[in-house]
């Protein structure tokens, strides 16, 4: 590309982005909207949330980053789903899209829908169409989020008690102060913190693991139906990690919420998840039950992730790692995004991006290799 062409291209991108930003800003000003614009129907009422061809893009100066590009999956009520993939695959952007926390106007939902089942209200809403005021009612109330680094959630200048009680008060405007305090203590106890004067401590007086427990307590304090945990144990030491996972598992049964557990660590998913979604460069390459994924992985990417997981009782000199890196999801080729790193390519991989095919009722994969298997042409 000549310098002149380059300049022209950047100008075009700028113009295109300006248009997108304008659309976004117009939409953001929409604080309220008639219900008909966002109330929808679940495809299956047993699901708490349904992602339907979700596309989340970032309109940047160098072009459109398709961080999430046509992702569809669902989470059943009371179940845990693990979302896995290396760094940069679009896991966090997926969760931020649910929470309505994308950094606009650069980041926007560009297409598709996220249907959320408001079980208590007997209705479903499309989160991507939700006006700001309605979002505030759902966020932190019916859906709550646990971030990787607890200090991003906790405010260093307020005590744990203040923050937890504020959270409870916000979501229960009619609750008395005494009841709020009792509720705060009860939630802390639920996450395994039982200590005198706990409410008066500041975040810096706690260890990393304790802080993450407090964050989990905050997330639980309003009985959410869906909890999104984005790498909840990544910032912690291994031993503390195990404790937090135990805690999450224990809570899972107690609170009967659905959990969307995001992690790059297959070991974590193996311990927690009923279903697994494997993402690569903004798309789902494989999904299935934990048994499908762990015992019958079909996509070369999943197989690679599995091989790079340390196994107990198995001696290896060097742990396998998939060669290469996740591509930046900007101007991606038409063919399979994993092709350049794949050790199992077939001729067809040069062709169009492979469709998601069903290997069984629960197990789906997007790979030409398996297409042959399904048809028995092996």
Ligand X SMILES: Nc1ncnc2c1ncn2[C@@H]1O[C@H](COP(=O)(O)OP(=O)(O)O)[C@@H](O)[C@H]1O
- Piece of the chain touching Mg ion by CB under 5 A; list 17-25, 34-42, 87-95, 319-327: 87-95
Q: Is 92 in the site for Mg ion (CB under 5 A)?
A: yes
Q: How far is CA 351 from CA 93, 174, 336, in A?
A: 28, 60, 8
Cα–chain center distance at 274: 15
**From the list Mg ion, ligand X, none, which binds 85 (C-beta under 5 to 8 Å, kind-based)?**
ligand X
Choose the stretch contacting Mg ion; rule: CB under 5 A; options: 1-9, 84-92, 167-175, 235-243.
Answer: 84-92
Nearer to Mg ion, 92 or 187 (CB): 92
Distance in Å, CB of 261 to ligand X, minimum: 13
Considering the complex, state which of residue 2 and residue 103 has its C-beta at the smaller distance from ligand X: 103
Local structure of residue 56 (DSSP, 8 states): E
Using the rule CB under 5 A, is 263 a contact of Mg ion? no
Least distance to ligand X from the beta carbon of 270, Å?
A: 19
Q: Residue 378 in 3-state DSSP?
A: coil
Distance in angstroms (rounded) separating the CA atoms of residues 103 and 372? 42
Decide which of ligand X, Mg ion, none touches 93; Cβ closer than 5 to 8 Å per partner kind.
Answer: ligand X
In whole angstroms, the minimum distance from the beta carbon of 229 to Mg ion comes to: 11
Three-state SS annotation for 65-104: EEEEEEEEEEEECCCEEEEECCCCCCHHHHHHHHHCCCCC
User: What does 65 bind: Mg ion, ligand X, none (CB cut-off 5 to 8 Å by kind)?
Assistant: ligand X
Angular region, 145: left φ>0, alpha ψ -120 to 50, beta rest: beta
Minimal distance, residue 58 CB to ligand X, in Å = 4
Binding site for ligand X (CB under 6 A): 58, 60, 65, 67, 85, 87-93, 103, 106-107, 328-329
Contacts of 273 (CB under 8 A, 6+ apart): 80, 81, 82, 261, 290
Q: Which residue is nearest to Mg ion (CB)?
A: 92
Residue 188 CB, nearest approach to Mg ion (Å):
27
Task: Tell me: does residue 233 bind Mg ion (CB under 5 A).
Answer: no
Residue 112: CB minimum distance to Mg ion, A: 20
Of 89-97, 155-163, 211-219, 338-346, which part binds Mg ion (CB under 5 A)?
A: 89-97
* Residue 378's binding partner out of Mg ion, ligand X, none, with CB under 5 to 8 Å set by partner kind: none
141 binds, among ligand X, Mg ion, none (CB under 5 to 8 A by kind): none
**Closest residue by Cα to residue 92 from 19, 146, 14:** 146
Q: How far is the CB of 262 from Mg ion (least distance, A)?
A: 7
Residue 107: contacted member of Mg ion, ligand X, none (CB under 5 to 8 Å, by partner type): ligand X
User: Cβ distance 77 to 46 under 8 Å?
Assistant: yes
How far is Cα 28 from Cα 6, in angstroms, rounded to an integer?
A: 33
Binding partner at 82 among Mg ion, ligand X, none, C-beta below 5 to 8 Å by kind = none
Q: Which is nearer to Mg ion, 160 or 262 (CB)?
A: 262
- Measured in whole angstroms, the distance separating CA 99 from the mean position of its chain's CA atoms is 10
Q: How far apart are CA 216 and CA 160, in angstroms?
A: 12
Distance of closest approach, residue 185 Cβ to Mg ion, in angstroms: 33
Backbone φ and ψ for 362, nearest 5 degrees, come out as -105, -20
Nearer to ligand X among residue 89 and residue 191 (C-beta): 89
Strands, sheet with 39-40, edge to edge from the N-terminal-most edge strand: 39-40, 123-126, 107-118, 47-60, 63-76
Instruction: Select from Mg ion, ligand X, none the partner in contact with residue 60, using the beta carbon and a kind-dependent cut-off of 5 to 8 Å.
Output: ligand X
Nearer to ligand X, 99 or 175 (CB): 99
| Span between the terminal Cα atoms of the chain, in Å | 43
**Residue 149: Cβ within 10 Å count:** 17
Q: Which is nearer to ligand X, 60 or 372 (CB)?
A: 60
CA distance 297 to 287: 9
Instruction: Report, in Å, the least distance between residue 94 CB and Mg ion.
Output: 9
Which of helix, strand or coil describes residue 57?
Answer: strand
Contacts to Mg ion by CB under 5 A: 92
């Amino acid at each position: 590309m000549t310098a002149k062409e380059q300049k022209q291209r950047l100008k075009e991108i700028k113009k295109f982005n300006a248009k997108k930003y304008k659309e976004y800003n117009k939409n953001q000003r929409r604080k309220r909207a008639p219900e008909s614009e966002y109330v929808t129907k679940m495809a299956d009422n047993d699901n708490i949330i349904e992602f339907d061809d979700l596309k989340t893009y970032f309109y940047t100066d160098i072009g459109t980053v398709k961080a999430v590009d046509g992702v569809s999956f669902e989470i059943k009520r009371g179940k845990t789903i693990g979302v896995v993939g290396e760094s940069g695959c679009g896991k966090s952007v997926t969760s931020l899209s649910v929470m309505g926390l994308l950094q606009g106007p650069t980041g926007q939902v560009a297409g598709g829908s996220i249907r959320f089942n408001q079980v208590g209200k007997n209705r479903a809403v499309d989160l991507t169409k939700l006006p700001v005021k309605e979002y505030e009612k759902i966020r932190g109330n019916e859906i709550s989020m646990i971030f990787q680094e607890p200090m991003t959630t906790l405010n260093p200048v307020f005590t744990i008690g203040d923050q937890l009680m504020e959270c409870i008060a916000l979501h229960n405007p009619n609750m008395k102060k005494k009841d709020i305090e009792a509720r705060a203590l009860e939630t802390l106890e639920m996450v395994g913190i039982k200590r005198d004067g706990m409410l008066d401590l500041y975040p810096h007086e706690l260890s990393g693991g304790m802080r993450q427990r407090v964050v989990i307590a905050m997330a639980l304090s309003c009985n959410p139906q869906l909890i999104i945990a984005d790498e909840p144990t990544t910032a912690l030491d291994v031993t503390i990690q195990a404790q937090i996972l135990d805690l999450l598992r224990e809570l899972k049964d107690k609170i009967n919420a659905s959990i969307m557990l995001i992690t790059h660590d297959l070991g974590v998913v193996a311990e927690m998840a009923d279903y697994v979604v494997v993402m690569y460069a903004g798309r789902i390459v494989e999904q299935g039950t934990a048994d499908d994924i762990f015992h019958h992985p079909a996509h070369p990417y999943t197989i690679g992730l599995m091989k790079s997981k340390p196994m107990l009782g198995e001696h290896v000199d060097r742990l396998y790692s998939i060669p290469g890196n996740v591509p930046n999801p900007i101007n991606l080729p038409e063919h399979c995004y994993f092709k350049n790193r794949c050790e199992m390519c077939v001729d067809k991989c040069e062709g169009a991006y492979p469709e998601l095919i069903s290997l069984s009722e629960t197990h789906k994969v997007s790979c030409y290799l398996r297409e042959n298997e399904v048809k028995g042409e092996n």
